[in-house]
């Protein structure tokens, strides 16, 4: 839903946060940023919009076509994505210009003061419109741990990034250093006021005397449950396991069948309190989406990255290991020995936990929102404590 416009120099300041349906991280970051904006400055009009819904239909089909090689030829998609992320544009400019015509009309009618793009192609579309129309809105490229050369557009005014290393990538690719700030990747403000682990464990009815392994399959439910359960069943030490299948009911049912004889295990579908489950867990096994990485680190949760999508998520796994906040499990046979080793070595586990805490930015949404308001000249109210 589009927010009603309101007063900045005679009218309310309007912020347009553009996202896509490609993965949950874009939407989660956008909604987190919206919450932070409205806490900092309640009189803003902030709208989160799927940019592709305002593009030509044929262009949306083209844009979504990546799903075919990703699903059926992952090796081919890896080559395409690794090539694409080094190019100055993810698609020909003429194609963006034609497919984006309805989108350009939408932005013109919306008349925003600030546009925030949470996906690289959407950033290119926004920069192209700003260039063609000579619009004066403040453009933000919100890179969600998905570096791509095409983020670097002269029309972008600010790049909030999750980590200094990601900022250095942008600067090396040509982004002016003055436009790059390290704010962390926006996550739900709920991560700034977490309860104690003991309190959360009691509320979730989990045992306090057994380590807890949390296994996530993403919001849409992606993964190989039988292989994961079979590997976890090889572990000789006692532990609890919670499997969260997301919105995939077929995956949830398969997990329930697999875990029928698995002691101390629980299977859940979609949950609204993932922050509590991350807080009480001792280890996380998950696909390494950028949002999941940042949320886990805010809870000091060691990350065992499994089944990354080809391309960007594989690069995220490399960052996790460089930053020492997690371990990349490159095949399912490594699950049981990796988890057993960490269960037997609490000091190693605690070291990963401490690195995750040091890496974390639980206030990232507030910090990014405040920086955007400051740079755009819209901030007249301090960030909440």
CATH code for the domain in which residue 260 is found:
3.40.50.2000
Q: What pLDDT sits at residue 87?
A: 67
Contact 52, 20 (CB under 8 A): yes
pLDDT score of 4: 40
pLDDT at 7: 46
Alpha carbon separation from 74 to 80, 84, 149, 252 (Å, rounded): 10, 15, 22, 24
Q: Is residue 2 part of a domain?
A: no
Assess whether 102 and 29 both reside in one domain.
yes
Same domain, 21 and 127: yes
For the segment 180-239, what is each residue's pLDDT rounded down to a tens digit?
A: 999 999 999 999 989 999 999 999 999 889 999 999 987 666 778 899 999 999 999 999
Q: Please check whether residues 199 and 295 belong to one and the same domain.
A: yes
Mean pLDDT, the chain, whole residue set: 89
Are 105 and 132 members of one domain?
yes
Is 244 part of any domain? yes
Determine the pLDDT at residue 384.
45
**pLDDT for res 6:** 41
Question: What is the number of domains present in the chain?
Answer: 2
- Indicate if 155 and 232 belong to the same structural domain: no
Q: Which domain holds residue 148?
A: 14-189+362-376
Residue 42: inside a domain: yes
- Is residue 384 situated within a structural domain? no
| 165 and 209 assigned to the same domain | no
SS (H, E, C) the chain: CCCCCCECCCCECEEEEEECCCCHHHHHHHHHHHHHHHHHCCCCEEEEEEHHHHCCHHHHHHHHCCHHHHHHCHHHHHHHHHHHCCCCCCCCHHHHHHHCHHHHHHHHHHCCCEEEECCHHHHHHHHHHHHHHCCCCEEEECCCCCCCHHHCCCCCCEEEECCHHHHHHHHHCCCCHHHEEECCCCCCHHHHCCCCHHHHHHHHCCCCCCCEEEEECCCCCCCCHHHHHHHHCCCCCCCEEEEECCCCHHHHHHHHHHCCCCCCEEEECCCCCHHHHHHHCCEEEECCCHHHHHHHHHCCCCEEEECCCCCHHHHHHHHHHHHCCEEEECCHHHHHHHHHHHHHCHHHHHHHHHHHHHHCCCCHHHHHHHHHHHHHCCCCCCCCC
Residues 231, 156 within the same domain: no
- The per-residue b/e assignment along 259-285, b for 16 or more CB within 10 angstroms, e otherwise, is beeeeebbbebeeeebbbbbbbbbbbb
- Dihedral, CA atoms, 124, 87, 310, 249, nearest 10 degrees? 10
Residues of the chain under the 70 pLDDT cut = 1-11, 23, 65-73, 77, 80-85, 87, 219-221, 380-385
Both 264 and 147 in one domain: the answer is: no
Q: What is residue 77's predicted lDDT score, i.e. its pLDDT?
A: 66
Residues 228 and 116 in one domain: no
């Amino acid at each position: 839903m589009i927010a009603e416009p309101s007063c900045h120099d005679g009218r309310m300041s309007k912020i347009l946060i553009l996202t896509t349906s490609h993965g949950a991280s874009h939407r989660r970051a956008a909604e987190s940023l919206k919450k932070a904006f409205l806490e900092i400055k309640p009189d803003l009009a902030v709208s989160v919009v799927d940019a592709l819904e305002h593009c030509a239909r044929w262009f949306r089909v083209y844009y979504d076509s990546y799903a075919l090689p990703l699903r059926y030829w992952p090796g081919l998609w890896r080559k395409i994505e690794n090539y694409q992320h080094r190019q100055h544009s993810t698609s020909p400019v003429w194609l963006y210009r034609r497919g984006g015509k309805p989108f350009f009309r939408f932005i013109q009618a919306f008349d925003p003061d600030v546009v925030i793009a949470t996906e690289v192609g959407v950033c290119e579309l926004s920069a192209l419109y700003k260039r063609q129309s000579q619009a004066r809105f403040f453009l933000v490229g919100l890179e969600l741990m998905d570096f791509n050369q095409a983020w670097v557009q002269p029309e972008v005014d600010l790049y909030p990034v999750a980590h200094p290393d990601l900022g250095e990538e942008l600067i090396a690719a040509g982004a002016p250093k003055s436009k790059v700030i390290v704010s962390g990747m926006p996550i739900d403000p709920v991560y700034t006021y977490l309860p104690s682990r003991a309190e959360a464990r009691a509320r979730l009815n989990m045992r306090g005397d057994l380590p807890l392994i949390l296994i996530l399959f993403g919001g849409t439910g992606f993964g190989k449950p039988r292989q994961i359960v079979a590997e976890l069943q090889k572990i000789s030490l006692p532990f609890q396991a919670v499997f969260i299948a997301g919105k995939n009911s077929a995956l949830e049912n398969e997990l329930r069948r697999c875990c029928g004889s698995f002691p101390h295990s629980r299977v859940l579908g979609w949950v609204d309190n993932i922050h509590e489950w991350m807080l009480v867990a001792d280890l996380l096994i998950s696909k390494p989406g950028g949002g999941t990485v940042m949320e886990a680190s805010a809870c000091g949760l060691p990350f065992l990255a499994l089944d990354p999508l080809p391309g960007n998520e594989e690069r995220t796994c490399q960052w996790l290991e460089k930053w020492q906040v997690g371990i990349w499990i490159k095949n399912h046979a490594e699950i049981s020995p990796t988890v057993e080793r960490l269960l037997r070595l609490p000091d190693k586990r605690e070291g990963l936990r401490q690195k995750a805490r040091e890496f974390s930015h639980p206030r990232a949404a507030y910090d990014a929102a405040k920086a955007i308001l400051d740079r755009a000249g819209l901030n007249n109210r301090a960030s909440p404590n």
